[in-house]
Every structure is written in structure tokens, then in C-alpha cells.
Amino acid sequence: MALIRSVFQEELDGVSQSLVDLTNMVSDSIHKATQALISADLKLAEEVITFDERVDYYQHDLDSRIIDIIARQQPVATDLRALVTALRMSADLERMGDLAHHVAKVARLRHPNSAVPNELHATFTQMGSVAEKIARKVGTVIETRNTLLALEVEKDDDEMDSLHREVIGALTSSSWNKGVDSAIDLTLLGRYYERYADHAVSVARRVYFLVTGEYSPA
Amino acid sequence: MALIRSVFQEELDGVSQSLVDLTNMVSDSIHKATQALISADLKLAEEVITFDERVDYYQHDLDSRIIDIIARQQPVATDLRALVTALRMSADLERMGDLAHHVAKVARLRHPNSAVPNELHATFTQMGSVAEKIARKVGTVIETRNTLLALEVEKDDDEMDSLHREVIGALTSSSWNKGVDSAIDLTLLGRYYERYADHAVSVARRVYFLVTGEYSPA
């Protein structure tokens, strides 16, 4: 029995580790996608686009493992909830990969120009940093189950929302002179970063709930 | 044993029925949200916004039931996969409800004006119809497990993509004279309808895979 429990525990730890791996993969992706976007770097954009297939594959494989663990170990209560939650977190993380991929596709589409005009470079660089930071933090939250850190993610998301409002503010200001095509790009890009952070928040909230049995207060 | 199996079967049928209920709820929501958007109907917009809480609650309750069934019945193989897939489908459907809610919020924000200029009323009305049709069809796919119908959903999604391109085409044409604010609204609205249809496709593909064991060819 002790042995079975320990194999099971190892399997659960393996699932956690794979989720952390996914957070690192999507952190790298959004970092590179942002660089590709600002510097109109086609090679880097292509790299993110290709890499997304690996994220999808990794997530798919993780999900199969989780379902297999449920089938073999027939966990109940807490363990079952942890495994179901892992399935949901992997879906959030996969989606974050998709959104980095979307950013890279806009970069590729507008190459050799940057889809982001100079006056918004700082804002988008900042959105990229916040996105990367939030994804890394969520990795630590999964690893350590630190609920205080999980709550911090909500604040990072506020920072992203405020940057997002900055973008919309620039587009709707009377001095905006980059035309509608650019406004469409920037609206979508703003949305991608915002959704990226939303999914990170969702992962952090799921960990918070698993640990405390309560919804996070934010 | 026969009795246990039959209780379990009833529970599985109940899960299916709840998923169908969710498709009906989100079909109604996108239908009403589109009407609210085109006619700048504040009351209807508020109705969709409030109703979204019921969708969330319904989905939340369904998910708890599914996890409870897994814990009690300890299903393996096909039944476990069906239940895990049901969790994923409920997440897709809940998200479709969110997107209808987002559409309604744009309608509310621009009230007493319509967020959609007259020349795009026909296109957005059509997007609303396709969204409603696709969600209803997905309900039938869940109910009947008809794989041909599941494949049809891919075609409906192509129709949505083409309408979405129509919107972007109008925004980027030289005759566009509604300004950037309106372009931002319409870019986001186009994205909401497109994502709504994407999630419907995702549900149809999940049913296809459950029934055939293969990914849908589309």
C-alpha cells in the first residue's frame, strides 16, 4: 500500500512538474513574441509560431497522462480534484501559448515593419514583461502552492489591465494618426496580452482554491 | 450490477442533457446580445449580462456533478473519457456564454447609439444568426452524437470566418469614415463572434472524437 501510494505521489508530482514546464514554455514564447513584435524580427516570430506546436503536443501528452492516472489510480476527493484541476490548468496554459503564437503572427504579418508604432513600443515592451513575469510566477505558484504569491498574480493582472487601457487611450486620442489598420492590429494585440494574463490569473486562482478550499478574495 | 449500471447510465445521460441545456442557454444569449447590439436595446443587453451569471452557475454545478460521478463510479476507459470530455465541453460552452456577455456589454457601453454602423447591420445580424445556429447544432450533436452534423459545424465556422473578414474588409476600406473608436469596437465584436464559433467547433470536434476515436478531418 505504501508503495502504491508512493508511485501515485510520484505521478502527481510529475503532473505538477509538467505544468511548471508548460509555464516556462509559454513564458519564453510571450517573451520572444514581444521581441519579434517590437523589432519586427521575422526569424523570432517564426520560431514562436513553430514552437507552439511543441506546446500543444506537450499539453496533449500531459492530459493523456492525467486521464490515465485517474483511470488507474481511481483517486477520490482531494486527489481527484487536484487531477481535474491540473487538466483545467493545462488548458489555460495551452491557451497562453496560443496567444503568444497570435502575437507572433501579427509580427510576421507586418514584417518588415513593426506592427507597433514607436510611441507604443515602451507600453508593449512592458506588456510583454508583465506577461512573462506573470507566467513565471504562476509556475512558482504551482510548484510551491504559495497562496500569497497566487494573490500577487491578481495585482500583476491589474498592471496588465492598466497597460491595456494605455493602448486603447493612445488609439482613441485625438493625436492618433496611424490609421485604422494599425488600430485593428493594436486592438487585437492588446486583447491577446490581456487574455494571456487572464489565463494566468485563472491558473493562480485554481491553485488557491485547491490549497484553501476557498475562492481567492480578488 | 444491472441496477448500478443503469443508475450510472442515467447519470451520464443527465450530464449530456445538461450540456444540451447549456447550448440552448448560450444560443439564446448570443441571439439576444446581437439584437441588443443592432437595435441598441439597453434592456435586452442588461438581460444577457445578468443571465450570464446563471450560465456560469449552471456550468459550475454541472462540473461538480461530473467530478462527483467520477469519484463515486470510478469509471475507466470510454466512460471516463466521456466524462472528462464533458468537463471540457462545459468549459467551451461557458466561454461562449462569456462572449455573448461581452457583445452585450459593448451594446450597453454605446447605448443609446448602436455600436454597429448601419452599413454593417446586415453582416452582424448574419454573424448573430450563424452563432445561434452553430450553438443549436452543437446541442443536437451532443444529443444525437451525429458525426455528419459535427462535420457540418466546421462549414458553419467557415461562414463565420468569411463574415468576420467582411467586417475587417469594411474597416480597412478607403471608404471607412466612422473613426478609430468604432473600428476598435467592431474589431473586438468581430473577434467575439469568431471565438464563439471556434468554441462551438471545439465542442463538435470533441463529440466527433468520442464517437469515432479519430480527430475530425477538417
Residue entry with cell 474588409: B169
pLDDT band at A4 (very low <50, low <70, confident <90, very high): low
Contact list, A191 vs chain B (CB under 8 Å) = 188, 191
Question: Does residue B168 sit at the A interface (CB-CB below 8 Å)?
Answer: yes
Give pLDDT tens digits for B188-205. Answer: 999 999 999 999 999 999
CB count within 10 Å of CB A45 equals 26
Give pLDDT tens digits for A109-132. Answer: 999 999 999 999 999 999 999 999
Give pLDDT tens digits for A170-183. Answer: 999 988 889 899 99
| Residue in A70, A88, A91 closest to B70 by CB | A70
Looking at residue A101, what is its pLDDT?
A: 98
Question: Does residue A68 sit at the B interface (CB-CB below 8 Å)?
Answer: no
Residue in chain A lying closest to B177 (CA): A180
Looking at residue B174, what is its pLDDT?
A: 87
A28-56 average pLDDT score: 98
Domains and CATH numbers, chain B: 2-212 (1.20.58.220)
Indicate whether B4 pLDDT > 80.
Answer: no
Best of A62, A84, A168 to substitute, by most chain B Cβ atoms within 10 angstroms, is A84
pLDDT, chain A, mean: 95
B168-171, long-range: CB within 8 Å, 24+ apart, which pairs? Answer: B168/A184, B170/B119, B170/B120, B170/B123, B171/A180, B171/A184
* Lowest-confidence region among A209-218, B14-23, B40-49, B60-69: A209-218
- The Cα A82–Cα B203 span in angstroms is 24
Residue B21's contacts (CB-CB under 8 Å, 6 or more residues apart) are B58
| Residue in B74, B80, B187 closest to A188 by CB | B187
Contact list, A168 vs chain B (CB under 8 Å) = 184
- Who has greater pLDDT, A1 or A208? A208
Estimate to the nearest angstrom the gap between the alpha carbon of A61 and the chain centroid.
18
Decide if B188 contacts B99 (C-beta within 8 A). Answer: no
Best of A60, A187, A193, A199 to substitute, by most chain B Cβ atoms within 10 angstroms, is A187
Looking at residue B87, what is its pLDDT?
A: 97
Looking at residue B77, what is its pLDDT?
A: 84
Contact list, A188 vs chain B (CB under 8 Å) = 187, 191
pLDDT band at A63 (very low <50, low <70, confident <90, very high): very high
Give pLDDT tens digits for B32-90. Answer: 999 999 999 999 999 999 999 999 999 999 999 999 999 999 998 899 999 999 999 99
Instruction: Check CB contact under 8 Å for A70 and B81.
Output: no
Classify the C-alpha dihedral A192-A194-A197-A198 as positive or negative: negative
Looking at residue A6, what is its pLDDT?
A: 85
Looking at residue B3, what is its pLDDT?
A: 63
Looking at residue A132, what is its pLDDT?
A: 98
Decide if B52 contacts B95 (C-beta within 8 A). Answer: no
Looking at residue B76, what is its pLDDT?
A: 85
In the chain, the amino acid numbered A10 is E
Residue in chain B lying closest to A64 (CA): B81
List the end-to-end C-alpha distance of chain A, in Å, as a whole number: 41
Decide if A68 contacts A165 (C-beta within 8 A). Answer: no
Looking at residue A115, what is its pLDDT?
A: 96
Best of A172, A181, A184 to substitute, by most chain B Cβ atoms within 10 angstroms, is A184
Contact list, A67 vs chain B (CB under 8 Å) = 80-81, 84
Indicate whether B176 pLDDT > 60.
Answer: yes
Give pLDDT tens digits for B138-161. Answer: 999 999 999 999 999 999 999 999
What is the percent of chain A where pLDDT is above 90? 91
Contact list, A70 vs chain B (CB under 8 Å) = 70, 80, 84
- The Cα B108–Cα B113 span in angstroms is 9
Question: Does residue A80 sit at the B interface (CB-CB below 8 Å)?
Answer: yes
Instruction: Check CB contact under 8 Å for A184 and B168.
Output: yes
Please state the ipTM of this predicted complex: 0.94
Question: Does residue B74 sit at the A interface (CB-CB below 8 Å)?
Answer: yes
Contact list, A183 vs chain B (CB under 8 Å) = 180, 183-184, 187
